[in-house]
Structure 1
C-alpha cells in the first residue's frame, strides 16, 4: 500500500468529521473532505480550523460526482459520515432524509466499489450507523445483535444504510464496517441538538443574555459520550484485518434532567426548574425513550474505551459556550 495513507471523509464539516480529520492528520494521513456545493456555510470554518484538509466538491445524491472525487483523492480509507443528522428535522423532510442518509450510503458504496474495481482490498469503508436504529429498543443494553426498530425517518434511513453496508461486504467482499455510535457530543455539536441547546442556553442564562429554555420530553434517556473519543473507534475499525460492525457507547444512561443538573451546576445554579419550560411541540411524534449501548465487542476487539465521562463532557461544553458568549455581554 502506498504511503502516506490517504483518507476521504464525507460529512467533514460536522463535529465527527472535524475530529476525525484532526486525528488522521496527526497520524500522518493525507485527508480529503467532501463538501456539497460552493456555498456551504461551514466550508470557511473547515478552512480556518483545519487548513491541511484538501476540500473536494461532490454530492451524496450524485454517484458520478462521488466517482470523480474518489479518483482525485485516491483514498485507502473512506469514512462516510455525511447525512442529514438532526432527528427532529427528519419528520419534516422524510424524503430528503431518505435521499441523503439512506440512498447516499448506497451511492457511496457503489462509487467505492466501482473505484476499487477488481481489487476489493484497495479501499476500506466506514459507515456511520446510529443507535437511533434501535428506536423501540427490544433489549437493554443494545448490542450488535439487537433487533433494529427505528422510530423516526432518520432511524429508518440509517437502518437502510447499515444493512446496505453489510450487503456490500457480503456480496462483493468489501472491507466495509459500520460503527453503531450512540449519542456523542462536543463543543462542535450544532445548537439544534439537545445537548448543545442546553449548554448554550445555560451559558446565556448565566450571562444574562437569555431568560428561559424550552424543551420537550425531560425523561428521555440517552447514552452520551464525547465525539473526540468516538472517532478513534472509527479509525480502529478500519485497521482490523476483517470488517465488522461495532457498538460504540459508554454503557451509561442519563436523562435530560441529568443533563440539566450537570449543565446548570457548572455555572453555579442548583435549581434549574424556574429557567426550564416544557413545550409539547418539541416532543417527537414517535419517541425513543431510552438507549444504552454495550460496547464489549469494541473493548475486546478494537482495544477502545471512552475516556471522557458524562459530567466532564457537559462541563466542557458549558465552558466553551460561556467563553464564546461573553463578548455579547
Structure 2
C-alpha cells in the first residue's frame, strides 16, 4: 500500500486528488494551512473527510515542512498548496511569492534531505505563459508571466526542474490550464458566474458583475486533471506536462453556456466597459461589467496543447467546457434550493 501526501488537500484539486488516490488504495495524508479552523467542506462534500489524515502544513514555515515530511515519509508528494487567486497576487505580492516560490524550494530541499526517493509533483499553471509567445502553448513555450502569481509559479516550476536535474529526484510539474468544478472557490470567475446566475434563476435580482469578457481560457474539469497528476508520478522518468482541453473560449462564451443550463437566453448589449446581458425570458439584467475586475496586466489568450500528455501518459480530458458549465450551474442551483 502506497502512502501519499497532498499539500492543499482542502482545496478543489486536493479534494478530487484525495478521492482518486483513496480509490486506488493509497493511505492519504494531507496538509492544510494553519488557521483557526480547517475548512474541510470540499472533503465533506466528496464524503472522504474521515478517510484522510490531516496535518497542519504551512509553506512559509520551513521547520513545519521539515518535520511533517520526516514524519509521513510518503511515497508520493503532491504540492497543490498555493496563494492561487491571480487577482489577489497584486495586493499580496510578497506573500504570494514566499508561498508559491520559496515554499516549493522548502519542500524540495526537505525531501532531498529526508526522503530523496519520494516522487514529487509540482502544480504549475498556464498563467506562467502570460503574454503568450505562441498559440497553442506547449511544454517548450517560453514563459512571459503577467502577474505576481504567474512570476512566483515560474520560480516553482524551474526550481522543480533544477532539483530533478541536480539531484536526480523524481520531480515533475503539471502545467495545468484552467480547471474548474462545483468545488471551485467563489472568487474564481467560472464559479462567480454559475453562483450568480443560479441565484437569479432562483428569483434573485442582483446581476453578476465581471471584468474582461473577451479574455479567452482553456477550461476543463478538475476531476479529469487530477488523474493526469497521478499519471505523471507513475512514469519511470519524471518530466513536465501540459494538461489542457485544446479548446479556448471567452468568459462571455462560458456565461452563455451557464445561462443555457439554467433555462436562460442572454441578449448582449453594448461594448467594453458598458456591455451587459439581459435574460430574454425574464427581462432581468443578469451580467454587467466593471473596471474594478480588470487586471492591471491582462492575459488575453490561453490555449493548451496536451499532445505530450496524451502520447506519454495516455491522458485526455473527458468533460467538455459546455458539460462543465452545466455541471457547475446545476450544482449551485440545487445547493440554493
| TM-score, length of structure 1 as denominator length | 0.95
> 1:24 Cα deviation (Å)?
0.3
SS of corresponding position for 2:163 = helix
**Superposition CA RMSD, Å:** 1.2
Greater CA drift, 122-131 or 60-69: 60-69
Greater CA drift, 50-59 or 166-175: 50-59
Rounded Cα–Cα distance in structure 1 between residues aligned with 2:328 and 2:299: 24
Determine the structure 2 residue equivalent to 1:160.
155
Alpha-carbon deviations, 1:125-166, whole Å to 9, x = none? 000000000000000000000000000000000001000000
Ranges in structure 1 where 5+ consecutive residues have no aligned partner: none
Ranges in structure 2 where 5+ consecutive residues have no aligned partner: 268-276, 279-285
Out of 281, 304, 314, which is 1:303 matched to? 314
CA 301–92 in structure 1, closer or farther in 2 if over 3 Å, else same: same
CA contact (8 A) 2:11 2:42 kept: no
Determine the structure 1 residue equivalent to 2:225.
230
Determine the structure 1 residue equivalent to 2:305.
294
Rounded Cα–Cα distance in structure 1 between residues aligned with 2:319 and 2:145: 28
Determine the structure 2 residue equivalent to 1:268.
263
Tell whether 2:165 aligns with 1:170: yes
> 1:63 Cα deviation (Å)?
1.6
SS of corresponding position for 1:292 = coil
Determine the structure 2 residue equivalent to 1:280.
291
CA contact (8 A) 1:47 1:53 kept: no
Out of 173, 189, 194, which is 1:199 matched to? 194
Determine the structure 1 residue equivalent to 2:274.
none
Out of 9, 12, 29, which is 1:12 matched to? 9
Determine the structure 1 residue equivalent to 2:334.
323
Determine the structure 1 residue equivalent to 2:108.
109
> 1:268 Cα deviation (Å)?
1.2
CA contact (8 A) 2:42 2:183 kept: no
Greater CA drift, 267-276 or 167-176: 267-276
> 1:38 Cα deviation (Å)?
5.0
CA contact (8 A) 2:12 2:42 kept: no
- For these two proteins, the number of residue pairs brought into alignment is 319
Rounded Cα–Cα distance in structure 2 between residues aligned with 1:87 and 1:165: 21
| TM-score, length of structure 2 as denominator length | 0.93
Rounded Cα–Cα distance in structure 1 between residues aligned with 2:54 and 2:112: 22
